[in-house]
Structures are given as structure tokens and as C-alpha cells.
Amino acid sequence: MQKSGLLELNAVVAVSTHRSFRRAAVELGMSPSALSHAIAALEKRLGVRLFHRTTRSVSLSEAGEQFLVRVQPALRDISAAMEAVSEFRDTPAGTLRLNTSEGAAQMVLTPVVLEYLRRYPDMRVDIVTDRSLVDIVAGGFDAGIRLAESVPQDMIAIAITPPLRFAVVASPQYFAKCKKPKVPADLLAHNCIRVRFPSGTIYKWEFEKRGEEQSVDVRGSLTLDSHHLMLEAALQGAGIASSAHIASGRLIRVLEDWTPPYPGLRLYYPANRHMPAGLRAFVNVVREIVSENLISKKKG
């Protein structure tokens, strides 16, 4: 199969997966215009339209759906064959696609991902951040990184961080004007930075102390859906924030005795699929780094 033909087939799969030429182009590492030309060239040769296109949406035509059913298994076989051959290389090469959240990506980028790229210079890492949990198999990802409680049960999961703790924090200037809360219910008298889930619901802050659980539907003038923005707002004195990511030394933590640790992040991937060499190397880096962290903690 010519290189251009394989590119066109992968383009069809990517566009059908993302329902967007722009997002599919990012995945394939090409411009949207080049991707559109590749699809158009394939449609011209086949003599049928594979996609219905409007200014707002892209969807498979009936012919496109039938074409995809036949093409996808063949592409998976080709990918598996190429991966099998690549395992004879001294070092893995290719692209590792990861799906995670913005906050998790910030936590693992430097200690894990950049270390992985340093060790395996022939590898590329493509990280896609989503606030909502996605099907990593259907999305074409090699693996995902999420909190332990969010990992599907049919996946192999490996700890990538130690247990985490949410922190209730605010800036020194905020607490210079407002009394620090002593118990969770005190938050009702404060201006809190509220958290919106992808579903649109507002997060009720959860607390636990010696088996007693409490949830507080906090009030505040600002509602955000980004942990980065929440911390930035807290640093600027906008109110109290709840986050797993703290700007060290710049925010004051409160209610620490009401925020016990919980299971941390997990790297997860399908149990019933061939593991690519790049993913196997990534797993080994994760295990090594986690082991070193545990050893250093015991020594400390």
C-alpha cells in the first residue's frame, strides 16, 4: 500500500472519531487543509462521499460507515504488524497517545513524561486533556491517567502517584480580611471559588474526619471549570479554593484535619490488547519512578 493511501485511510478513521477536521489534523500531525485534501482525493477515487460536511459538523455518510467497518480492522492489523517489527529495534520509536485531565497532566509532566522522552528520544508523546472520562480504546489512545476511583474495572491500572490530599486554600490577603474556617460548615460564611463538572453540576466540597463525613454546597461569586484558573483566582485573593494542586508557599491551607488522603493517580490501559513497545517502556519508567519515590520517602 502506498504511503498516501495509508494516510488517507488513517485520515478517515481520525475524522470519524473526532467528528472534526481540526482535531483529527492535530492527532495526525498535519494541517486541516492537507487533511481535507486527503479525504477529498480518496472520495474522488472512490466516487462517493464518505462524510457529510457543514460549517458546524462532520458526520459519516452511509457509504462512509460501511467503508469504515471494513477499513478499521485492516488498519489495526497493519498497526500491530508495524509495532511487532519495531520491537526488534534497540529502542522504541513512534507516538504514545495519552488521555488525562489537565491537573493530572501537570502532576506527571516533569517527573514522568519528560523523563520518558529523555530516555527514549525516538518516541513522541501526544497528551490530550479532557475534564470528562473518555473511552481510551474508542478514542485511539494507548493509555489514560486518572484518579484511581475513575479507572474502568476492565483495565490494568498502575499507581503513578502516592495517595493525594485535596487542600482548602486561600491567599494571605484574603485571610487578612476574613477569619479562617475551623470546621467545614464555616465555609458557608466565606466567598468560595466553586467548581463546575463537565456535566454542568456544581461540586459539593467533601470532608471526612475520624469517620464523620460532611459535604458543603459552598457559596461564592466565582464558578470555574479549570483547576489552573481556580488557583490563579485564589492567589489573587478572590476567595477560598479546593484543589489537589497547591502553589507552594503562596497560599494558606485550612481544614487540613478534614482532608484525609485518598488513592492517587493511576496509569491504565486495556488488558486484552497487545502492548506497544512505547507503552511498555512508559510503564517501566512509571514503575521505576514510583519505586524511587517510595524508597526516598522511607529513607526520609
**pLDDT tens digits, residue range 240-283?**
999 866 655 789 999 999 998 888 899 999 987 778 889 999 99
Q: What's the grid cell of residue 132?
A: 470528562
Residue 254's DSSP bridge partners are 168
Rg of the chain, C-alpha, whole Å = 23
At residue 92 the predicted structure's pLDDT band, cuts being 50, 70 and 90, is confident
Regarding whether 214 and 195 lie in a shared domain, the answer is: yes
Regarding whether 147 and 171 lie in a shared domain, the answer is: no
**pLDDT tens digits, residue range 37-70?**
889 989 998 999 999 988 778 889 999 899 888 8
Does the pLDDT of residue 300 top 80, yes or no?
A: no
Does the pLDDT of residue 6 top 70, yes or no?
A: yes
Does the pLDDT of residue 91 top 80, yes or no?
A: no
Q: Report the relative pairing of strands 205-209 and 212-216 from DSSP bridges.
A: antiparallel
- The Cα-based distances of 276 to 58, 80, 281, 299 in angstroms read 31, 8, 9, 35
For position 180, which CATH number holds?
3.40.190.290
Q: What is the mean pLDDT of residues 218-237?
A: 91
For position 18, which CATH number holds?
1.10.10.10
Regarding whether 137 and 122 lie in a shared domain, the answer is: yes
Which of 27, 7, 5, 16 is closest to 63 using CA atoms? Answer: 16
149: Cβ–Cβ under 8 A, 6 or more apart, which residues? 262, 263
Output the pLDDT for position 97: 92
Residue 206, amino acid: E
What global pTM score does this model have?
0.65
**pLDDT tens digits, residue range 179-201?**
999 999 999 999 999 999 888 89
Cβ–Cβ < 8 Å for 193, 230: yes
E-only strand ranges, 54-195: 58-60, 94-100, 123-129, 143-147, 155-159, 167-170, 193-195
Regarding whether 68 and 11 lie in a shared domain, the answer is: yes
At residue 85 the predicted structure's pLDDT band, cuts being 50, 70 and 90, is low
For position 113, which CATH number holds?
3.40.190.10
Regarding whether 245 and 173 lie in a shared domain, the answer is: yes
Does the pLDDT of residue 294 top 70, yes or no?
A: no
Output the pLDDT for position 296: 45
Q: Quick one: CA torsion of 126, 128, 133, 135, rounded to 10 degrees?
A: -50
Regarding whether 253 and 172 lie in a shared domain, the answer is: yes
At residue 21 the predicted structure's pLDDT band, cuts being 50, 70 and 90, is confident
DSSP labels, 121-134: TTEEEEEEE-SS--
At residue 119 the predicted structure's pLDDT band, cuts being 50, 70 and 90, is very high
Domain span at residue 40 reads 3-79
Regarding whether 207 and 60 lie in a shared domain, the answer is: no
Q: What's the grid cell of residue 167?
A: 487542600
Please identify, among 79, 106, 139, the residue that sits at the C-terminal boundary of a domain.
79
Please identify, among 47, 79, 111, the residue that sits at the C-terminal boundary of a domain.
79
d(CA 14, CA 250): 43
Backbone dihedral angles phi then psi of residue 80, each to the nearest 5 degrees: -65, -40
Q: What's the grid cell of residue 284?
A: 517501566
Regarding whether 44 and 19 lie in a shared domain, the answer is: yes
Backbone dihedral angles phi then psi of residue 183, each to the nearest 5 degrees: -130, 160
What is the maximum alpha-carbon separation in the chain?
72
Whole-angstrom distance between the N-terminal and C-terminal Cα of the chain?
57
Query: What is the number of domains present in the chain?
Result: 3
40: Cβ–Cβ under 8 A, 6 or more apart, which residues? none
Whether 131 is covered by a domain: the verdict is: yes
Higher pLDDT, 298 or 112: 112
Regarding whether 200 and 143 lie in a shared domain, the answer is: no
Output the pLDDT for position 2: 45
